[in-house]
Structure 1
Amino acid sequence: MRALQWHGPWDLRLVELDTPRAGPGQVRIAVAYCGICGSDLHEYADGPHAIPVDAPHPLSGRTAPLTLGHEFCGTVVEVGAGVTGLSLGDRVAVEPEYHCKQCAYCRSGSYNLCVSMGFAGLMGDGGMADFAVVPAYMLHRLPDEVSLEQAAVIEPAAVALHALRRAELRLGDTCAVFGLGPIGLLLISLAKLQGATTIVAVDVSRERLAAASHLGATHALDAGALDAPALCDALRDAAGGLGVDVSFEAAGLPATFEAAMQGLRKGGRVVMVGLMPHANFDAFRAVNDELTFTASVGYRHAYGDLLRIVGSGALDLTSIVTRIVSLDDAVAEGFDALLADRTQIKILVSPAKPPSAINA
């Protein structure tokens, strides 16, 4: 089979490998689509970050080179010994978090905090290949109403839904989303479904601000055209003068974290979704205004709810998909395109289709 493997920064190789077999407790799927995530781009441009190089991951047993891709879906083609509830031909979405099921976090249900947590496609082989073998616990059967194209975007939508839950966003709340990548745009769609009355989108890309408005943002602020004080003033004005109830920091930048905090009303909540090594904040204001800081990582118990929402027609996840490319063209038309072109949002790689069959 073909697989797109990470060998080092700027070194992705489409290689031929033996088709893996499903072992006990595992399932092999024929991959239909695999999304390219911002984490994949970071590994490509300046990794390794999460990819194990010197020591194998404790649950996957893998080190680099390994097959990228954790946003994937497909069809069951082999079921390993001991697996129940899945059959050949089942269409499935992959919830790619590894978890041990034994540590205190797993036993409490917070499996996204597992002491050995990792992701297939980053700490183990993932979905940018013709076939992928994963633990059966990662798979969710798709309702008939959910297409495989929709299923390929369930993973980033789960990140957004978990962050929304961490925010405790309530009907009638006001919120702001800083950073309009796929997660930020999905946060806007889900906040609208949750009943937020004011949703302020903040980014430097006019194209992404336009996409946010299409998905439900009530206000769009161009952070490249406003200095920090003006941006905060505009954010407060959009929320009735006091500031928003909740800010989501989805860009992973210290400056946007600061702006996300400054745009809050008293008693407001900021949720950190983007990854950054360090951030400074006004501790005096945080205490004096009784602000709440919350972080959100991965997801737990989100896939079932998302599949029901998407199946009902209330949420169209393909609205953020801007291109579908073949596995052969994944580097040039996928990874490089996302790094060079801000109009691209979510690019799906389709191993199942030859280049001539792709509508790019």
Structure 2
Amino acid sequence: MRALQWFGPRDVRLVDIAIPEVGPDEVRIEVAYCGICGSDLHEYADGPHAIPIGTPHALSGRTAPLTLGHEFCGTVVEVGAHVTTLRAGDRVAVEPEYRCSRCMYCRIGSYNLCESMGFAGLMGDGGMADYAVVPSYMLYRLPDTVSLRQAAVLEPAAVALHALRRGDLRLGDTCAVFGLGPIGLLLVVLARLQGASTIVAVDVSPERLAKAVELGATHAFDARAYDALALNEAIRAATGGPGVAVSFEAAGLPSTFESASRALRKGARLVMVGLMPHASFDAFRAVNDELTITTSVGYRHAYDDLLRMVEAGVIDPASIVTKTVTLEDAVSGGFDALLNDRSQIKILVAPGLEPGLAAHSTPLSRTSPMLT
């Protein structure tokens, strides 16, 4: 079969490998779609960051080179001898977090904090291939009305839902989302569904700001048009003066973290979703204003709820997809496109899409009447 494998930074190759065998507790799926995530881009651009080199991952047993892609879905083609919950022909979404089921965190249900936590597609073989083999616990059968295209974007939607829960966003709250990549845009969607009264979106891309307004943001600010003080004043004016009840930092930049902190009212909460090596904050103000700074990693117990939302038609995670490419075009048309074109948000790799066919692309609009 074909597989897109990581060999080193800027060295991702489409190779022919043997179809992996299925263990007793595993399932083989024919991959329909696999999204390219920001984590994949980091590995491609200047990795390794999470990909194991030398020492195999504790649960996958894999080291580089390995098959990329943790945002994937497909159709079951073979199940292991111990698997009784799935059968060939089932359409499934993949929740790609590895878990040991033995450590303290797994036993209390916080499996995203497993002592051996990792992701298929980063710490083990993933979905940028014709077929993928994963533990059966990763798979969720799709309702008939949920498309495989929607299922491909459940993973970033789960990240956003878990972050929303960590922020304890409540009906009528004001909030701000800093960074409008896939996670940030899905946070806008979920905040609207949660009943937030004001949703401020902040980014440097006009296309992404316009998309945020389309998805439910009440205010959108291009950070390039403001200095730090002016941006804070604009956000406070949008919320009636005191600032927001919850800020979500989804860009992974120290400067964005500072802006997200500055935008908080007293007693508010900041959720760190983006990854950054270091961040600083005004500890004096944090204590005096009784601020809460929390973090969010991965997800737990999110897929069932998301599938119900999609089935009910209240959320369409595929609304952020801007392009679909073949495996052959995944590097130049996918990875490089995301690094160089801010109008691209979520690009899906479709192994079944024949080479030479035109890739589906829906560029984002640059205009919005609510954009400020």
- 1:45 deviates by 0.2
- Length, aligned pairs only: 360
Partner AA of 1:338 in structure 2: L
Give the whole-Å Cα distance in 2 for the aligned partners of 1:28 and 1:356: 27
- Divergent runs of 4+, >4 A: none
- Partners of 1:294 and 1:15 in 2: CA distance: 41
- Secondary structure (helix, strand or coil) at the match of 2:52 reads coil
1:169 is aligned to 169
User: 3-state DSSP class of the match of 1:355?
Assistant: coil
The equivalent residue for 1:129 is: 129
Pairing 1:1-360 to 2, within 5 Å after superposition: 1-357=1-357, 358-360=359-361
CA distance in 2, matches of 1:356, 1:184: 33
Q: Larger deviation: 310-319 or 104-113? A: 310-319
One-letter amino acid matched to 1:53:
I
Percent identity between matched residues is 76
SS of match in other structure, 2:40: helix
CA drift at 1:119 = 0.1
Deviations 1:289-342 (A, max 9, x none): 000011000000000000000111000111100000001100000000000000
Structure 1 residue 31, shift from structure 2 partner? 0.1
Deviation at 1:209, TM superposition (A): 0.3
**Partner Cα separation in structure 2 for residue 284 and residue 84 of structure 1:** 56
Shift of 1:356: 3.6
Equivalent-residue separation in structure 2 for 1:136 and 1:244 (angstroms): 41
Superimposed CA distance per residue, residues 168-221 of structure 1 (whole angstroms, 9 cap, x where no aligned partner): 100000000000000000000000000001000000111100000000000001
Residue 19 of structure 1 deviates from its aligned partner by: 0.8
SS at match of 2:225: coil
Partner deviation per Cα, 1:130-158 (whole Å, 9 max, x = no partner): 00000000000000110000000000000
Report the Cα offset of residue 353 of structure 1.
1.6
CA distance in 2 between counterparts of 1:307 and 1:356 reads: 33
Alpha-carbon distance in 2 for matches of 1:137, 1:290: 40
- The code of the aligned residue for 1:66 comes to L
Q: Distance in 1 between matches of 2:37 and 2:166?
A: 22
Q: Say if 1:325 and 1:355, in contact at 8 Å, map to a contact too.
A: no
Please tell me the root mean square deviation across aligned C-alpha atoms, in Å: 0.6
Distance 2:204 2:97 in 1: 31
TM-score (ref. length: structure 2): 0.96
Return 5+ residue gaps in structure 2 as ranges: 362-372
Displacement, 1:355?
A: 2.5
Q: Distance in 1 between matches of 2:137 and 2:317?
A: 23
Whole-Å separation in 2 of the counterparts to 1:9 and 1:154: 27
